[in-house]
Structure 1
Amino acid sequence: MKVCGISALVTGGGSGLGEATARQLAERGAKVHVMDLNADAADHVASEIGGVAIVGDVASEADASRAVSLAAEHGDGLRILVNCAGIGPASRVVGRDGVMPLADFQHAITVNLVGTFNMIRLAADHMSRLAEIEDKARGVIVNTASVAAFDGQIGQAAYAASKGGIVSMALPIARELARFGIRVNTIAPGIFLTPLLYGLPEEAQQSLASAIPYPQRLGDPKEYADAVCFCIDNQYLNAEVIRLDGGIRMQPK
């Protein structure tokens, strides 16, 4: 699908992988709607790329519906959804402080998995009613999982479960939406240099990078954005989960 002139919605677009994606889509001519819980971050990115800032929670039906409605107002409707919003909690099931609170597990599932599904279902409903464009296409959805879906480490039970759910629903949703001309792909990033890691000492960052076969460095968010654009551009890519990780296979801890 051609990006220029298309309306796009990027969740978690105020920082990290989402910000890099929003910027790259805007560079290619899309009208990008930057959705984020952080109002200042959303405003900052949107103002720099000529986009639209939307403050909202992806797990909220009202917030998600409003975001899709706003993105649908541009051009001939919302045709690109990129789900980057998420959290990365770490907690052992049974640790030094006792058993993991059930609420912590539920929160990770709600934000990462339920939030992703919430955005998919509302965007897909809108896309399904759009006019067909080239190759009978109506829209493209790109979700963000993680290598933790496959190689979850100790302390990542909640996070791995939430990302594993995103991987598992990739195929059935893509199969269901195929009849509308809506493609669904998923990217599973490895260790990327996002705000979560900026605060780590250089020595700690190098230690993480040393576990990556090649290239032996942390991923650049722009490389994630490149992968998103490939998922959008290649009309024959559908129902796929792409590991973007430099070949890493995470150790237990």
Structure 2
Amino acid sequence: MAPTKTRVTKARRFRVSKLSAVELNGASAIVTGGASGIGAATARQLADLGARVVIADMQADRGNKLAEEIGGVFVEVDVTNTEQIVDAVNTAMDLGPLRALVNSAGVGWAQRTIGKDGEFASAHDLDAYRKVIAINLVGTFDCIRLAATAMSRLEPTATGERGAIVNMTSVAAFDGQIGQAAYSSSKGGVVGLTLPVARDLAAVGIRVNTVAPGLIDTPIYGEGEHAEAFKAKLGQSVLFPHRLGKPEELASMVIELITNSYMNAEVIRVDGGIRMPPK
């Protein structure tokens, strides 16, 4: 009896076609808070795809250095200053059609709602609360409305798209800890505006999504042996992997949301499965 011949076949490789309507090569993009951390990682990845990136930040030294590295432009921007945001948008439009906005600028704050002594003066600082809301929420919306206005004037792509916006919120929007009333409400506001703004801008072919990072290894934790030990301890609270997230991992999700034309009106947690405890 002749031996049976075994048919050997190569495993098929399935390639996902993103059918992306946002062509970044030769286009411009704005990244607020783009001089460090998640913003800087995102700026680098956008530049790798051929975008001319406007780094909109208040850190001039870091911003200019990164802009030189990636062939972008630094514009000093305080997101509570509408004129400075307009300047960043106009700068981007001079570089090429503005196809992407990433809102990564933000601040943190920790203070309990009331003090321990029962005195009115010990209650949460209302000016601090307003400042956090002004930067994290109002600043984000101001950047959206101005960048989207510029995008709306562009010729649409073949699939009718004019641009994509990605906001940065936080898991604190869902798992706010003790002392995070200001921060969590500002980030919760960004979650809340995602769907209605996406619905508003659908008429002009602009998509809007939001990323909610967990514990990410950014300059906020400082440097040195003590900082590394603290980060390692924090990382143990992450479901898996037991470490802090990398800015590049967050940036890759931002790029996905910009380039995947079927992603719209979503809020996506990138957090290693962590759910924050009360404190």
TM norm. shorter chain > 0.5? yes
Matched residue type, 1:6: A
Q: Specify the alignment match of 1:194 in structure 2.
A: 218
Secondary structure (helix, strand or coil) at the match of 1:250 reads coil
Indicate the larger mover: 234-243 or 85-94.
85-94
What per-residue deviation string (whole Å, max 9, x for no partner) do you get for residues 139-173 of structure 1?
00000000000000001100000000000000000
- The reply to whether residue 15 of structure 1 matches residue 36 of structure 2 is yes
Aligned mate of 1:108, from 117, 132, 138: 132
Amino acid in structure 2 at the alignment position of 1:34: I
Correspondence 1:19-38 to 2 at 5 A: 19-38=40-59
AA matched with 1:224? L
Distance 1:52 1:213 in 2: 39
The reply to whether residue 230 of structure 1 matches residue 230 of structure 2 is no
Flag as ranges the 4+ runs of structure 1 deviating above 4 A: none
Distance 1:162 1:222 in 2: 24
Deviations 1:94-115 (A, max 9, x none): 2358222100100000000000
Measured after TM superposition, the shift of residue 215 of structure 1 is 1.1
For 1:84, the equivalent position in structure 2 comes to 104
- Aligned partner of 2:82 in structure 1 is 61
**Residue matched to 2:160:** 136
Aligned-partner residue type, residue 7 of structure 1: S
Measured against aligned partners, the alpha-carbon deviations of 1:33-82 in whole angstroms (never above 9, x if no partner) come to: 0010111121111011110000011111111111111111122x211100
AA of the residue aligned to 2:165: I
Identify the residue that residue 155 of structure 1 maps to in structure 2.
179
Instruction: Please identify, of 97-106 and 199-208, the stretch whose mean Cα deviation from structure 2 is larger.
Output: 199-208
1:14 CA displacement: 0.5
Structure 2: how far apart are the matches of 1:87 and 1:6? 29
Partner of 1:221: 247
Structure 2 residue matching 1:5: 3-state secondary structure: coil
| Letter matched to residue 52 of structure 1 | V
Deviation at residue 178 of structure 1 after TM alignment:
0.3
- Find 2:202's aligned residue among 174, 178, 183: 178
* Aligned AA (2:235): A
Match of 1:70 among 88, 91, 109: 91
1: distance between equivalents of 2:215 and 2:34? 18
Percent identity for Structure 1 against Structure 2: 52
Alignment partners' CA distance in 2, 1:33 and 1:96: 45
What is the root-mean-square deviation in Å for CA atoms of aligned residues? 1.1
- Aligned counterparts of 2:99 and 2:237: Cα–Cα separation in 1: 38
Distance 1:85 1:8 in 2: 15
Q: Which residue of 1 aligns with 2:27?
A: 6
Partners of 2:268 and 2:193 in 1: CA distance = 14
Mark the runs of 5 or more structure 1 residues left unpaired by the alignment.
none
SS of 1:142's equivalent in the other structure is: strand
What is the TM-score of this pair, normalised by structure 1?
0.97
Does structure 1 retain, via aligned residues, the 8 Å contact 2:100–2:163?
yes
The count of corresponding residues between Structure 1 and Structure 2 is 252
- CA drift at 1:128: 0.8
1:250 aligns with 2:276: yes
Are the counterparts in 1 of residues 113 and 124 from structure 2 also a CA contact under 8 Å? yes
* Residues 1:46 and 2:57 are matched in the alignment: no
Q: What SS does the aligned partner of 2:159 have?
A: helix
TM-score in terms of structure 2 length: 0.88
**Structure 2: runs of 5+ lacking an equivalent:** 1-21
Q: 1:184-207 CA distances to partner (integer Å, 9 max, x unpaired)?
A: 000000000001013453221122
> Does the aligned pair in 1 maintain the 2:236–2:243 contact within 8 Å?
yes
